[in-house]
Structure 1
């Protein structure tokens, strides 16, 4: 597939991503191929290739078709196996990497990412991928650079832990009224921020919400019972749950402040 993809006009490189690239996959895990392009992408040619590969018509979402950050791609089934093609604008990925090195990031609204799309995900994807085809060498060079976690980004993400406190404070006001949706959103945001901060503290890339809780819980110095206490708070969504969340935030902040 990768060999065919780099023949499509605009495609610069193809990488294996997700759990299969990291060796954490299960038997039924999808195969994720990052399709890195520059400039104008020949979506018609990409659609034709996808349909030939699957053996039946495939709908390909062009740049922007799946939102501003996930961008676009296609879901294929090949010999009964799920294979996802995920578009990435290489110019934008390189720009985000430059921002990461300067300690800048953003969190954008993106379908499929309920806690927002954290821009460093682009760099993390590259750092953790397996490059399959890269005729020009750009993705390979970026991968080597991104394997060193930028200290300015580490400081920015750990410093943003204040938002977890802010979100818990907002939940504390709403919980007595039984506003479960708002409390759930606030606490989820708080725990998402903590997961990002803990990963950054240990110079690890946190790609998205999937698996982030378990991954954060497994990191050194993470407070005892972290995952269980988060799960308990998100089940209860009452004033006591908010105080549980507040305690988790305090303990994580203590870890981060200890250096």
Structure 2
């Protein structure tokens, strides 16, 4: 069914190819996991045709957004339920993906604010989606060629992400102490989340692994060769004992300092 839907999607004007992403593509899905279909397009995208197809598949009215309808990074798409299956259509501007791939090779990345991504969307996630996805429709072979190019993680991007963690993690934990002295557990929690997220990004980069988003990233980082053997357990433990007592918050930050040191000393560069 999913392949059939992908073929129908490719008939809409502007759609260049369709790629199955997420846990379904990586083989890590659960029985109830969604099917994420990336619609790689160039403007103008025929959203009217997509709305007609969504209605035909579901037998009802489905909100199908224009590009940009879900924000600057997720872009847009639709959420469908087809014969009991949850199928998400997610737009990806193919020219933007190409541009970000060029930036990755030069060691550049950016982090964008986006609902549903508390750490922010790292631009190279666009490239990782192509690299790790399962291509279902590729009219001119463009997605296949890009996937082949992105199999190898660029060394300049690896160095940039590791270098970023080296300065920002200690800085983030140091400013968290200002909140700890006032019992501001919310601020401390935010700093801890960012620090752990930066470590996770650096560990994946050092291992040459594309990281798509924050979900499950601490667990996956814990399986990487350069991670401390107890990384995941220690990272999660930082968030279990947060309260408003300054001494307790300071103790948590000391644990975070030790975890950061154990990670950063093993990273290359």
Q: Deviations over 1:123-146 (max 9, x none)?
A: 000000010001111111111100
What is the CA deviation profile of residues 68-107 of structure 1, one whole-angstrom value per residue up to 9, with x for unaligned ones? 0000011100111111111000000010000001100000
Once the two structures are overlaid, the 10-residue window that deviates more, 52-61 or 89-98, is: 52-61
Q: Which residue number corresponds to residue 158 of structure 2?
A: 154
Structure 2 gap ranges (5+): 243-248
Matches within 5 A, 1:1-12: 1-12=5-16
Give the TM-score normalised by structure 2: 0.94
Q: Which residue of 2 aligns with 1:191?
A: 196
Aligned partner of 1:243 in structure 2 is 254
Cα drift, residue 236 of structure 1: 2.1
Does residue 1:111 correspond to 2:122, yes or no? no
Q: Give the root-mean-square deviation of aligned CA atoms.
A: 1.0
Match of 1:34 among 35, 38, 42: 38
**Runs of 4 or more above 4 Å deviation:** none
1:176 offset after TM fit, Å? 2.3
Aligned mates of 2:130, 2:57 — CA distance in 1: 25
Which of 168, 193, 213 is the aligned partner of 1:208? 213
- The alignment partner of 1:215 has SS state of helix
Task: Give me the whole-angstrom Cα distance separating, in 2, the residues matched to 1:43 and 1:138.
Answer: 22
- Quick one: which of 198, 213, 222 aligns to 1:217? 222
CA–CA separation in structure 1 for the residues paired with 2:252 and 2:228:
17
Q: Select 2:134's aligned residue among 130, 136, 140.
A: 130
- The aligned counterpart of 1:177 is 182
Give the SS at the match of 1:214: helix
1:69 paired to 2:73 = yes
- Matched with 2:246 is none
**Structure 1 gaps, min length 5:** none
TM-aligned CA deviation for residue 54 of structure 1 = 1.5
